[in-house]
């Protein structure tokens, strides 16, 4: 599968998890915890795969350098917020508010990626690299998910 389709599928999978989380109530502690850990696993696998397999192909190219650097910074912010959320009691309004903040941060990130990075990457990378790059991203994601399974 080409890298752009794979990353879009990741984005949609994470959106679905956020949507499910938004439907939970404070008393649904177990459901919230399970969905949060699924969200965390997906987000970390996705961001680590982008950084290890996709971003290195683009970071040294002037049209994408700054936005890739920004994307890496956003990944650090997501990880920080994930750790903060994980330490909070899941039944609280503060927890759900932090999840909503994370959702908004993620939406901003994917909008930039899909609207700016993907079109520039399609121009900068040879078409015959799209599928192999997708395979590399998938391999890193799978490895990250195996590593973080609890």
The model's pLDDT over 113-131, given as tens digits with 9 standing for 90+, comes to: 999 999 999 999 999 999 9
| The pLDDT value given to residue 150 | 56
What average pLDDT score do residues 94-114 get?
96
The domain of 16 spans 3-148
How many domains does the chain fold into?
Answer: 1
CATH of the domain at 95: 1.20.120.520
Asked whether residue 11 carries a pLDDT value surpassing 60, the answer given is yes
CA atoms within 13 A on the CB side of 20: 16
pLDDT in tens, 53-63: 999 999 999 99
Tell the burial category of 117 from Cβ atoms under 10 Å away from its Cβ (0-12, 13-18, 19+). buried
């Amino acid at each position: 599968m080409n890298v752009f389709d794979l990353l879009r599928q990741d984005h949609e999978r994470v959106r679905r998890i956020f949507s499910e989380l938004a439907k939970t109530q404070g008393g649904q502690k177990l459901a919230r915890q399970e969905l949060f850990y699924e969200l965390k696993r997906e987000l970390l696998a996705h961001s680590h795969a982008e950084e290890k397999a996709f971003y290195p192909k683009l970071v040294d190219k002037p049209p994408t350098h700054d936005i890739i650097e920004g994307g890496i910074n956003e990944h650090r912010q997501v990880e920080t917020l994930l750790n903060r959320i994980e330490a909070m009691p899941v039944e609280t309004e503060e927890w759900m508010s932090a999840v909503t903040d994370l959702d908004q941060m993620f939406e901003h990130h994917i909008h930039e990626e899909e609207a700016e990075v993907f079109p520039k990457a399609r121009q900068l990378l040879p078409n015959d690299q799209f599928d192999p790059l997708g395979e590399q991203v998938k391999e890193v994601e799978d490895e990250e998910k195996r590593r973080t399974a609890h």
